[in-house]
Structure 1
């Protein structure tokens, strides 16, 4: 395998990882900012108040976007990795 093919496949794999992780990370960021603002406004500094809603929101987004993640990974594997393995 040439270096160019290896690095191109690695770049594609990293981009797929970014696409898959982006929805959950964005929801965690938005939820964290909203909870942080609410804590600042109410002066309630409870650790579980930040953790539990963030985990719940991330689980909900994971459940909703699970089909997108699976389809993206399967497409990358079928279109990018399998031909490289079969081609030698």
Structure 2
């Protein structure tokens, strides 16, 4: 593999990591905003109120998108990386 191919594979890998992390990060952002709004409206400043629902939302989102993310990762690895290593 030449330097250009390595940089291209690295570039595609970073985009893949971004695509795989977007659903979890978006849910964490939305859950954080909703919980913050709820705390501001009700003046409830409980630490577990911010942590537990956000963690539950993140875990559910990760569980729901795990199959899609795994397929993306396996396809990237088998189609891109191995094919580039084998190719002369």
**Which range, TM-score by smaller chain?**
over 0.9
The corresponding residue for 1:55 is 55
CA distance in 2, matches of 1:2, 1:31: 44
Show the 5 A alignment for 1:64-83.
64-83=64-83
CA distance in 1, matches of 2:25, 2:39: 21
1:87, CA displacement in angstroms? 2.6
RMSD over aligned CA atoms reads 0.9
The corresponding residue for 1:46 is 46
SS of the residue 1:45 aligns to: coil
SS of the residue 2:44 aligns to: coil
SS of the residue 2:45 aligns to: coil
The corresponding residue for 2:16 is 16
4+ residue segments displaced more than 6 Å = none
The corresponding residue for 2:29 is 29
Task: Give CA-to-partner distance per residue, 1:23-67, whole Å, 9 cap, x none.
Answer: 000000000000000000000011110110000000101111111
Give the structure-2-normalised TM-score: 0.95
**Which structure 2 segments of 5+ residues have no match?**
none
**Which structure 1 segments of 5+ residues have no match?**
none
